[in-house]
Amino acid sequence: MALIEAAGLTKRYPGVIALDDLTVSIEGGIVGLVGANGAGKSTLIKLLLGLIEPTQGTAAVLGFDVCRDRPHLRRIVGYMPEHDCLPSDVSATEFVAHMAQLSGLPRNAARERTADILRHVGLFEERYRPMGTYSTGMRQRAKLAQALVHDPRLLFLDEPTNGLDPEGRDEMLDLIRRTGREFGIAILMASHLLGEIERVCDSLVVLDAGRLVEAGPLRNFTAATGRLVVEVDGDRDAAAAALRARGLRVTTDGRSVFLVEPADDRTLDLVRDVVAELGLGLVRLEPARRQLEDLFRRSEAATPEAVRV
C-alpha cells in the first residue's frame, strides 16, 4: 500500500490555484516535499490531513480517504505545522500530554508517553518551563514532540527547520533522521531548502507553482549525467579549446569548472593528458551529477505563469 496517493488533486482559492491537478503515488521512508515558497507544499499537507477540502480530485493517506476517513486518518498521522502553534504560558509537558489525550491516550499513558517523547526530542530537562521562555529551536522540538506523542505511522513536517540557526538546523535534521530510521515512522517533510532534503530524505516530490515537477527516489535526482566535471587551476579557456580540438563536447559555466562529454575512460585519459600538456593544475575530475536546483531551473522555463487564473 502506498503511503500517499493523490489523483487530480486540486485546490483553488479565489484568483489562485494553490495546487493544480496533482497525481502522485508516494512510498514510505522519509519523503521530501520540495518547492519554493508558495509552491503548494503547505496546501498539500493540509489537504492530506483533511484540514481543507480539495476543489477537485481525491487523495488517500495510508489507505484512508482524506475527506471520508478523517477521524481514522488522524489517529495514525502526526502534524508539525510551519507556524507557531504553542501557547506561551503552558509547559511542554502540559501541552504535549494534552495533545496525547486528545489523540485518545488515557491520562496516565499520555503522561508517560509525553515524558518519553520529550526525552527523545531533547526537552526532558526543560519540560516544566513555560514554552514562552523557550528558544526557537526548543519550540520547534516541542512542536515535533506533540506531533509524535501518539506514535503515528506517518508524520507531516511543514518547514521543520524554520527560523533555526545552522547548529539548530543540524540538530533538527538529525532528530528527523533518527525519528524516521529508529522509530520506523514514515515522514513527509516540506522544505524549500534543497540541502536539507538531500541530507535527510530517501525520495522527493517536487512542486512548483502548484504543479508537480517530478517525484521519485532521491538517487534519480542526483544521478550521473553522462558528463565529467573538470576544474583546473590556470587557463580554463585553453584547456576547453584543447579538449574541443580532440572531438569532445565542452560546456563552460563562467567559472574554472566546465563539463565534458562523454564521461568514459577515454575522456578521462584525454583530460589528464591535455591538462598535463598545458601545464595546468587539475583540481577536480569527476562524473557530473544532477543538482536539485536544476529541477527548478527547468520548471521555471517550462511553466511561466501556470497557476495564475
Partner 1 sequence: MSSFLTLVRKEIRDAAQSRWLVGFALSFGLLVLLFARVQSGGDVFAEGFNRTTAGLLNLALLAVPLLALLLGAAAVATEREQGTLATLLSQPIGAGELLLAKYAGLTLALWAAVALGFGLGGLLLALVAPLGALDRYLVFVGLAAGLASASASIGVLLSVLLRTRLRAMAAAVLVWLVLTLFYELAAIAVALTISASGRTLLLASLLDPVEAARILGILAVEPNLEVLGPLGAYLATELGTGVTAGLLASALVAWVAAPLVVAVAVFRRQDV
State the minimum distance, in angstroms, from the CB of residue 181 to partner 1. 24
Q: Which of 8, 25, 68, 87 binds partner 1 (CB under 8 A)?
A: 87
Bridge partners of 189? 32, 157
Distance CA 300, CA 154 (A): 31
Beta carbon nearer to partner 1, 79 or 221: 79
Beta carbon nearer to partner 1, 74 or 227: 74
Place of cell 500517499: 4
Are the C-beta atoms of residues 188 and 176 closer than 8 Å to each other? no
Distance CA 184, CA 181 (A): 5
Which of the ranges 96-104, 113-121, 165-173, 255-263 carries the binding residues for partner 1, by CB under 8 A? 96-104
Place of cell 493523490: 6
* Alpha-helical regions (H) of the chain: 41-49, 70-75, 92-102, 107-120, 136-148, 166-182, 194-200, 218-221, 236-245, 265-278, 292-302
Q: What letter represents residue 160's amino acid?
A: P
State the minimum distance, in angstroms, from the CB of residue 281 to partner 1. 54
Beta carbon nearer to partner 1, 142 or 207: 142
Beta carbon nearer to partner 1, 83 or 255: 83
Are the C-beta atoms of residues 20 and 47 closer than 8 Å to each other? no
Beta carbon nearer to partner 1, 107 or 249: 107
Q: Which of 19, 22, 77, 239 binds partner 1 (CB under 8 A)?
A: 77
- Strand pairing of 249-252 and 257-261? antiparallel
- Strand pairing of 281-289 and 224-233? antiparallel
Q: Which of 98, 129, 153, 192 binds partner 1 (CB under 8 A)?
A: 98
Beta carbon nearer to partner 1, 102 or 224: 102
Q: Which of 56, 68, 85, 308 binds partner 1 (CB under 8 A)?
A: 85
Between residue 34 and residue 73, which ones bind partner 1 under the rule CB under 8 A? Answer: 46, 49, 51-53, 70-72
Q: Which of 28, 32, 81, 137 binds partner 1 (CB under 8 A)?
A: 81
181 Cβ partners below 8 Å, 6+ apart? Answer: none
Taking residues 104 to 123 in sequence order and writing x for each that binds partner 1 by CB under 8 A, - otherwise, the string is x-x-----------------
Closest CA to 250 of 232, 277, 234: 232
Which of the ranges 19-27, 94-102, 126-134, 278-286 carries the binding residues for partner 1, by CB under 8 A? 94-102
Task: Give the containing element (helix H, strand E) for 79.
Answer: strand 77-80
State the minimum distance, in angstroms, from the CB of residue 172 to partner 1. 18
State the minimum distance, in angstroms, from the CB of residue 79 to partner 1. 4
Task: Give the containing element (helix H, strand E) for 14.
Answer: none
Taking residues 243 to 282 in sequence order and writing x for each that binds partner 1 by CB under 8 A, - otherwise, the string is ----------------------------------------
238 is written with which cell numbers?
Answer: 585553453
Between residue 128 and residue 187, which ones bind partner 1 under the rule CB under 8 A? Answer: 146
Distance CA 112, CA 104 (A): 14
By CB under 8 A, name the binding residues for partner 1.
Answer: 46, 49, 51-53, 70-72, 74-75, 77-79, 81, 83-87, 98-99, 101-104, 106, 146
